[in-house]
Amino acid sequence: MNVAKTPVAKNEELTVTVEDLTYEGMGVAKLDGYPLFIEGALPGEQAVIRVTKADKKYAFARLVNLLTTSPDRVTPRGRAYTQTGIAPLQHLAYPAQLAFKATQIRNLYQKAHLDVPVLATLGMAQPFGYRNKAQIPVRDVNGQATTGFYKRRTHELVPLEDFYIQDPKIDAAVLVVRDLMRRYQVPAYDEANNRGVIRHIMVRRGYFSHQMMIVLVARTWAVPYLDELVAGITAALPEVVSVILNLNERATNVILGKKTRVLYGTPDLEDTLLGSRFRISPLSFYQVNPQQTEVLYTEAIRRAGLTGHEVVIDAYSGIGTISLTMAKHAKKVYGVEVVPEAVADARENAKLNGIENAEFVVGKAEDVMQQWKDQGLHADVLMVDPPRKGLAPEFVAAVGVMLPPKIVYVSCNPATLARDLVALQGFGYRADATQPVDMFPQTTSIESVTVLTR
């Protein structure tokens, strides 16, 4: 039997020069065109590497020794942040991270033959401690409840107490819950056998309100010492306005179950965004970097060119964060969202802010937009902020029927953004420029705003 020979072998040591960074932030070196992906290596560096895995088309390797270092290299905070994927770009200086993100979009546009300028990425003054939400696994390590994060592509827990990119008050709250679990010997979840009790600790903290919500994600409603846990949490954390038990009985990677029970305080917490108040429930989607969300939304509104006379459709309206922000600058905003609970939250948030020119409906955007078109509704601006998979083909077809003069596309995935811009060109749309906004410093995630006109 003929086994195809790879150009390199596992455990082989090589001296290479790193040429590029992948979209996942790994260094790339080439051996006669054969790519080697190296975690923690930066372009321009010469390094001794050891091959860890070799396939026919590419290999993975780890750094053994750096012979030269990039001027963009900084001392990383700790290996655990790379191992777990919490901060895969922590070794890259922040200005270079911002440049990397803009370059990723440019490269994808070039491949798609899109002639769209990409502006310099808008970054943060303090690119750490920004996340307002944590979902931390709890596992039994050496007989005691331990919190941390999984190694990338595994279910091996790396114990962690400081998560670097999270609000430090959230990190402290996770330790309070962990220590209470240890004190009362509340069993952590055993994933292999779908046993034990507490699976995850979820914490949300309002950046502006400083209100905190603790969610205990459990395999069963029967949590031992539950009253003592709640009493301990509320005594140690005066910011807590809500303690919630979330039931997830299934053997699954999905973190939250659908059923919740309020153990203390309110069913949600409140925070403000660009002057509007929002109630956020455990299952609500809410942007995790509130400072940069304000930058992103301000950019979207500014580039939409709203004057107070426009009708806007927000096609992925969620709990109404962008719809209600835009409503202050538009004549009328129509939000459509497939999740009924999110629509209920959006309506409540409209009332909370006294906003009467925003209307929210449940449904698939492509279906509802067709109904609106049939009813004679004319939209001046279509706002889209889709999930990572981008716009569904049916949605793009619905845009082709409605043909709004302007589309504001907020993207969290430049690959699907490039694909969708090509599809929208078929209906006569042209993008002016793409503005990247760094919502997730130290990571490879890229958000951006692009305005298209017919």
Residue 400 lies in a domain: yes
Catalytic residue of the set 365, 383, 412, 417: 412
- 207 and 142 in a single domain? The answer is yes
How is the chain split among helix, strand and coil, in percent rounded to 5?
25, 30, 40
Torsion angle, alpha carbons of 353, 355, 358, 362, to 10: 40
- CA atoms of 13 and 424, how far apart (whole Å): 48
Residue 80 lies in a domain: no
**DSSP-derived pairing of the beta strands 133-141 and 144-150:** antiparallel
Residue 94 lies in a domain: no
Q: Judge contact between 297 and 274, C-beta under 8 A.
A: yes
Q: Which of 242, 273, 304 marks a domain boundary?
A: 273
- CA atoms of 192 and 197, how far apart (whole Å): 13
CA Rg, the chain, in Å? 24
Residue 203 lies in a domain: yes
Residue 279 lies in a domain: no
Amino acid sitting at position 144 = Q
Examine the pLDDT at 411 and tell me if it is beyond 80: yes
- 242 and 138 in a single domain? The answer is yes
Residue 100 lies in a domain: no
CATH value at residue 166: 2.40.50.1070
30, β-bridge pairs? 35
- 374 and 445 in a single domain? The answer is yes
pLDDT band (50, 70, 90) for residue 4: low
Alpha carbons within 13 angstroms on the beta-carbon side of residue 84 total 23
Residue 43 lies in a domain: yes
The total of structural domains in the chain comes to 3
Residue 142 lies in a domain: yes
Q: Judge contact between 382 and 402, C-beta under 8 A.
A: yes
For 256, counting Cβ atoms within 10 Å of its Cβ (0-12 exposed, 13-18 middle, 19+ buried), the class is: middle
- CA atoms of 122 and 58, how far apart (whole Å): 34
Q: Tell me the pTM.
A: 0.93
Examine the pLDDT at 213 and tell me if it is beyond 90: yes
CATH value at residue 56: 2.40.50.140
Q: Mean per-residue pLDDT for 186-199?
A: 94
Q: Which of 249, 273, 297 marks a domain boundary?
A: 273
User: 3-class DSSP state for residue 108?
Assistant: helix
- 180 and 137 in a single domain? The answer is yes
**269: containing domain:** 133-273
- 351 and 377 in a single domain? The answer is yes
Q: Mean per-residue pLDDT for 235-257?
A: 96
Examine the pLDDT at 35 and tell me if it is beyond 90: yes
- CA atoms of 86 and 331, how far apart (whole Å): 42
- 382 and 399 in a single domain? The answer is yes
- CA atoms of 191 and 151, how far apart (whole Å): 15
User: Does the active-site annotation cover 279?
Assistant: no
Examine the pLDDT at 1 and tell me if it is beyond 50: no
Residue 130: the pLDDT is: 98
pLDDT band (50, 70, 90) for residue 76: very high
Q: Which two tokens stand for residue 117?
A: 């300028």
